[in-house]
Amino acid sequence: MTGLSYLSAGELSSVGTPTLWAVTIVGVLALLVLDFLVTRRPHEVSMREALGWSAFYIALPLAFGGWVWSRYGSQQGVEYLTGYLVEKSLSVDNLFVFMLLLAAFAVPAVLAQRVLLYGIAGALVLRAIFIALGAAALQTLDFAFLLFAVILIATAVKLLRDALSGHEQEVDINKMRSVRLLRRFMPVVNEYHGTRMTIRQHGRRALTPFALVVVAVLATDIVFAVDSVPAVYGITEDPYLVFATNAFALLGLRALYFVLHAALSRLVHLSYGLAIILAFIGVKLGLHWAHGIWSGVPEIPTLASLGVIIGVLVVVTLTSLRATRDREPGEAEVVTEKH
């Protein structure tokens, strides 16, 4: 947000013209449809397939970032790339929770990618809503930046506290509010029936475990949106770039899950790194808010933010790998809950 000042109502700038917005939304929907077509026949995902799709979903946003840089300049290009890196880092953390949910619901391997895809689709809708609300808040509320800063710092503190506690996280399906609510309205069968969410049993309609896990994943999407949208608004005030970074980070989650599934348990220090990143962006937002009132308050350049974020991620990755270097392949690790 370097060089940007407070914007009055109706002045929130965006590189996204109506045509670019339309093309981007159509493109995102087309990619979602493609993913649903790919997963229409349940199957276990091979590493080759996962790596191929992951490479595609990394090359696509990087190419888009190059286009933003060449079309709108280095400032917007750096903001986009930094925001994408933040969102991608948070999405890896989201995969921890998805991994716990799939294990708790004993989701068959052939159905895992379809569950993840429903979660991604739901997350995109929720992020779009939160992005619109965030843009409206920045236009009308002078303290919106300060509010976002408080949210991020509070999340960072909770994430750090959970990481330091080192408690083993287990998902108790029977205690989940979404599951208990569904069971009040409809009976639930014990067996999976492919990707079907309901079946007829004893003359009445009943839910399958597949429906329960999809709802549970969608419920977690709400919590993740509360963190991720303010975080990327801490990098750029442009609603279009906020949407693009979220969309590109989420679209590749399905394939990334299967690539990182074995490695996720080794990233034992990721929560510490994300806590530092969220707190850093919170401080950046707080300084930006203060700068709008007192011009002498310094701001943190976006390029410096990019350097800090990359540095933190590199450090926690290396320390995680070092801490788990003696672990046997496939050995489980204690996973702390994000929320």
Lowest average pLDDT, out of 48-62, 85-99, 169-183, 193-207, goes to 169-183
What whole-number distance in Å separates Cα of residue 237 and Cα of residue 79? 9
Residue 81 lies in a domain: yes
pLDDT of 332 over the 50 cut: no
Q: Is the pLDDT of residue 195 over 70?
A: yes
CA distance 116 to 260: 14
CB 87 within 8 A of CB 61: no
Q: How confident is the model at residue 247 (pLDDT cuts 50, 70, 90)?
A: very high
What pLDDT does 80 receive? 94
The residue among 136, 292, 152 whose CA lies nearest residue 226 is: 152
- How many CA atoms within 13 Å lie on the side-chain side of 317? 11
Whether 14 shows a pLDDT value over 80: the answer reads no
Percent pLDDT > 90 in the chain is 21
Q: Identify whether 182 is part of a domain.
A: no
- Categorize the per-residue pLDDT at 173 as very low, low, confident or very high, splitting at 50, 70 and 90: low
What is the rounded average pLDDT for all residues in the chain?
Answer: 82
Residues of the chain with pLDDT > 70: what percent? 87
Task: Indicate if the pLDDT at residue 301 is higher than 60.
Answer: yes
Tens digits of residue pLDDT in 65-89: 999 999 999 999 999 999 999 998 8
Evaluate whether residue 131 is within a structural domain.
Answer: yes
Nearest alpha carbon to residue 118 among 106, 130, 126, 128: 126
Euclidean distance between CA atoms 152 and 149, whole angstroms: 5
Phi, psi of 131 (to 5 degrees): -65, -45
Q: Can you tell me the mean pLDDT for 89-104?
A: 81
Is residue 5 in a domain?
Answer: no
The mean per-residue pLDDT over the stretch 12-37 comes to 85
Give the model's pLDDT for residue 64: 95
Task: Quote the number of domains for the chain.
Answer: 1
Long-range contacts of 17-25 (CB under 8 A, 24+ apart): 20/240, 21/240, 24/240, 24/243, 24/244, 24/247
In a domain, residue 297? The reply is yes
User: Domain for residue 203, yes or no?
Assistant: no
Instruction: Note the pLDDT tens digit of each residue in 259-287.
Output: 877 666 677 788 888 889 989 998 998 88
Structural domain boundaries enclosing 232: 18-97+125-168+221-323
Q: Does residue 154 form part of some domain?
A: yes
State the average pLDDT over residues 180-184.
77
Looking at residue 3, its pLDDT comes to 37
**Most confident stretch, 56-60, 201-205, 220-224, 334-338:** 56-60
Q: Is 289 among the domain residues? A: yes
Taking the C-alpha atoms of residue 6 and residue 206, their distance in angstroms, rounded to an integer, is 53
Q: How confident is the model at residue 333 (pLDDT cuts 50, 70, 90)?
A: very low
